[in-house]
Amino acid sequence: MIAVAMFAPMGVQAQSTRTIDVTITTKDINDAQKVTNYLCHLAPTRSSNGSQRAAAPACDVHSSALPTLAPTGGASSPPFFHPADMTYNGGPVVQSAQFTNFYLNSTCTPKQTCCGNPEGFMPDYFASEFIHINDQYVNATANGRYTLNRTTVSLTGTLPHTMQVSDTQAAVIAGVRALFPGGGGGGYNQVYDLFLPLGQDTCQSNGGCYSPDVPSTFTFCAYHSSMNAPDAMGATIHVLYTVMPYQRVPGCQVTNSPYPNGQLADSTNSVLSHEIEELISDPDGNAWWESSHSALHGSESGDICAGEAQKFNLNDKLYDIQLNYDNASHSCASKSSYPSPKCIVQLNKTSFVNNDQVIASVLQVVNPASTPVAAAYNLWIDIPGYEPFPFARGGSDGSVTFAAGTANYGPLTLFTVSSGLPRGNYNFGCRLDDPVTGATQGQTVVPFTIN
């Protein structure tokens, strides 16, 4: 029995290590009135009888209308293809971040169980191939860029049945101040997820709401936001956050039973992953979104794929969550097909004799992605009986990037065959490595002989 326990996967044991209890104060509520630059992007409710379109609030900068979504069940098994890729509009993205969860007025023990198991889901999500779909949008490929803070915040406050925007802002401000009592906590490497309890409604300024008990105003399931707000010392910080109401309600919940983690947990996981991936690729509403296709205008990556959820593994554990849009494959996907850069090499001949020049007549780096990618390059020559000769190398510090498309470095003369060189089988190699992880991204080895 001891041996079994020793070999239990680490993820099974993952638990919050600390909870900070925070009461939302009058000062937090008053300071929410000082918020500026408030932006939001909503995940609309899904209806079973067709697509839904609702007016977007002013905080959603993309569009005068929310995207039209496929009806429940209308998006069949992956990959479902859509030709309308997202485009980059120049704004900031989230390359790496720590996520901290705020549980508002949770009556459960532990606090997260009122909304499922986000503390278990997020580490699996962050360790998955699925999260790497975002690599192409943020121009980074390393593992472990997104982490879950093992300190959570339990927020308590007397709030109206329907929280207005300023109420949710006050809750986020209270949590950030508790985590950073000396000030700070903003920026593009900190994200906060505010989980609301069962029965807690919330509205946007235009009257659209999360309000399952008031169907006429019920238009969204969750959203992600950014705002400029005062920190614990009164300085202005830029805060990125999601607002996650209770998701096991018709219009938001997953519906394709059986649910590997239960309907509550998978419903939360599905919408949470949607919000996180959009917050990563479009935190301020001015980075990656769909602007060319009329029916999808204003969509972010999660919106395009917000049909029925799919069952797939994250970090070797089965989940039932929606897919994310992958520009590289032009489809909703469960793992990245973000292509790696590769070397293309051709030599002027395959065999050489004394006084011949060995020339790389073609030497190219092809980056098939739509954005620049950093890579360490290594060119070498294998000589019979000797260690590989390093011809050229660089970029291991991340300082070398290759633009989208093909870069030409040839023709390049490697050397002239002299009588002192050994005869036999040689190679000319070109390899590109991820500068952070060291993982080989593309390697090409071209053999030749010297006679």
Q: Which residues contact 164 (CB under 8 A, 6 or more apart)?
A: 202, 203
Termini Cα distance of the chain: 65
Residue 278 beta carbon to Zn ion: minimum distance, rounded to whole angstroms: 5
Mark the segment that binds Zn ion (CB under 5 A) among 2-10, 37-45, 86-94, 141-149: 37-45
Q: How far apart are CA 25 and CA 310, in angstroms?
A: 41
Residue 87 beta carbon to Zn ion: minimum distance, rounded to whole angstroms: 16
Mark the segment that binds Zn ion (CB under 5 A) among 243-251, 295-303, 361-369, 422-430: 295-303
The one among 24, 32, 43, 240 contacting Zn ion by CB under 5 A: 43
What is the amino acid identity at position 333? A
Verify binding: residue 304, Zn ion, rule CB under 5 A: no
Residue 336 beta carbon to Zn ion: minimum distance, rounded to whole angstroms: 19
Q: Where does 282-438 have alpha helices with state H?
A: 301-304
Mark the segment that binds Zn ion (CB under 5 A) among 245-253, 276-284, 389-397, 399-407: 276-284
Mark the segment that binds Zn ion (CB under 5 A) among 97-105, 205-213, 302-310, 423-431: 302-310
Gyration radius of the chain's alpha carbons? 26
Verify binding: residue 302, Zn ion, rule CB under 5 A: yes
Residue 296 phi, psi dihedral angles, 5° rounding: -110, 5
The H or E element spanning position 101 is strand 97-104
Nearer to Zn ion, 122 or 272 (CB): 272
Nearer to Zn ion, 148 or 280 (CB): 280
Residue 48 beta carbon to Zn ion: minimum distance, rounded to whole angstroms: 19
Verify binding: residue 60, Zn ion, rule CB under 5 A: no
Q: How far is CA 333 from CA 128, 269, 293, 338, in A?
A: 13, 16, 19, 11
Q: How far apart are CA 147 and CA 384, in angstroms?
A: 47
Nearer to Zn ion, 186 or 285 (CB): 285
Nearer to Zn ion, 35 or 296 (CB): 296
Verify binding: residue 290, Zn ion, rule CB under 5 A: no
283 cis-preceded (ω within 30 degrees of 0):
no
Q: Is 434 left (phi over 0), alpha (psi -120 to 50) or beta?
A: beta
Nearer to Zn ion, 300 or 434 (CB): 300
**Distance between alpha carbon 343 and the CA centroid of its chain, in Å?**
27
Binding site for Zn ion (CB under 5 A): 43, 278, 300, 302-303
